[in-house]
Amino acid sequence: MSTLPSALAQPTTSLSFVAIAIGTQNYTCSSAGTYTNVGAVASLFDISCLYNTFLFEGIPDLAIGIWKAAPPSLTPQQIISKLQLLSSPVVLGEHYYVPNPLTGQGVNPEWNFSSHGRFKGKADAYVVAAKVNNTVAPTGSRDIDWVSLKALTGKLAQEIYRTDTRLGQPPPSCNPGSPDITVKYASKYWLFGSSV
């Protein structure tokens, strides 16, 4: 069974959603010649039905393998369909970055489910969150950190975890002035304490 990393504080609210996500991490080249993360865009698919099955463990490797090899013409939903695990993949929503809703300074991650399924049209089915803590991925340095976050605004969750990450790390260096890059990744997202 996949569990949350013990290095991160455990959630205090109950599990509401667990998703597999495929998308990109975005990086900009700093004047120091290293990449800085400037956001991410991903689609989330419901994997609650795989929880407590052996497929739950394997899905991040399947997802990143297919996502890496996918022609650009395929949508994330078509790609997830290829997994054959989710006969009719249920799109939960989208993950992207928005300006900090409290300070207006910098960007924060958002998860927004208000365009799909039972949350369609529900304006409060989103959460914008801030990072609480992170820990290196146990699967190695090619995979982005596992992270815990807490909600700033929205009712979709109070606590969020990113685990089981695959890829998403930038190259170790860049030439200052070179264009922004996107790096494909997959991860699980766990949302706790929803009140929508």
What is d(CA 129, CA 157) in angstroms, rounded to the nearest whole number? 9
- Specify the stretch interacting with ligand NAG by CB under 6 A; choose among 53-61, 67-75, 111-119, 186-194: 111-119
Minimal distance in Å, beta carbon 15 to ligand NAG? Answer: 19
Q: Which residue is nearest to ligand NAG (CB)?
A: 39
What three-state secondary structure class fits 50?
helix
> Using the rule CB under 6 A, is 115 a contact of ligand NAG?
yes
Listed residue (103, 96, 113) closest to 157, CA to CA: 113
Residue in 9, 32, 69, 102 binding ligand NAG, rule: CB under 6 A: 9
> Using the rule CB under 6 A, is 24 a contact of ligand NAG?
yes
Listed residue (172, 187, 169, 173) closest to 37, CA to CA: 169
Query: What residue ranges in 47-179 does DSSP mark as E strands?
Result: 91-99, 107-112, 126-135, 146-153, 159-167
Residue list 136-175, contact with ligand NAG (CB under 6 A) = none
Listed residue (108, 188, 195) closest to 156, CA to CA: 195
> Using the rule CB under 6 A, is 112 a contact of ligand NAG?
yes
> Using the rule CB under 6 A, is 38 a contact of ligand NAG?
yes
- Specify the stretch interacting with ligand NAG by CB under 6 A; choose among 37-45, 73-81, 167-175, 184-192: 37-45
Q: How many CB atoms sit inside 10 A of residue 98's CB?
A: 14
> Using the rule CB under 6 A, is 193 a contact of ligand NAG?
no
> Using the rule CB under 6 A, is 48 a contact of ligand NAG?
no
Phi and psi torsions of 141, nearest 5°: -75, -10
Residue ranges in contact with ligand NAG by CB under 6 A:
7-9, 24, 26, 38-39, 41, 97, 110, 112, 114-115, 126, 133, 135, 182
